[in-house]
Amino acid sequence: MQTNCPHCNKEIDSVFVYFNTGALRRINEHSAVMDENLSGFFHLGWHDHDSNHPSVDIEKDAQNGQIEMYFCNPDCMENWFVTQIRKLK
């Protein structure tokens, strides 16, 4: 598990906020499972053909297709996202 907040770098304790995203392999109509053959990614960028726009790779190769990030509190999560979005300017 990640041990420090990616925004303020404080140690994460037992109470925190998080986001997770990823992919699961569907095994039937009602179930899906993690799969070690999946590779997750989280990328922010512009959808155009101008290669001069900046982009941000948050995660390039998440194991099992799963991405989780933990933050001290909602303010740290919000500020971290705002910082990433500002990199697109």
Rounded average pLDDT over 66-71: 93
At residue 2, the pLDDT reads 77
| Band of pLDDT at residue 8, cut at 50, 70 and 90 | very high
Half-sphere exposure for 81 (CA within 13 Å, toward CB): 11
Q: Is the pLDDT of residue 1 over 70?
A: no
Q: What percent of the chain has pLDDT over 70?
A: 99
Residue 80: per-residue pLDDT: 97
The pLDDT value recorded for residue 52 is: 85
Query: How many whole angstroms separate alpha carbon 64 and alpha carbon 47?
Result: 27
Which whole number is the average pLDDT over 57-68?
91
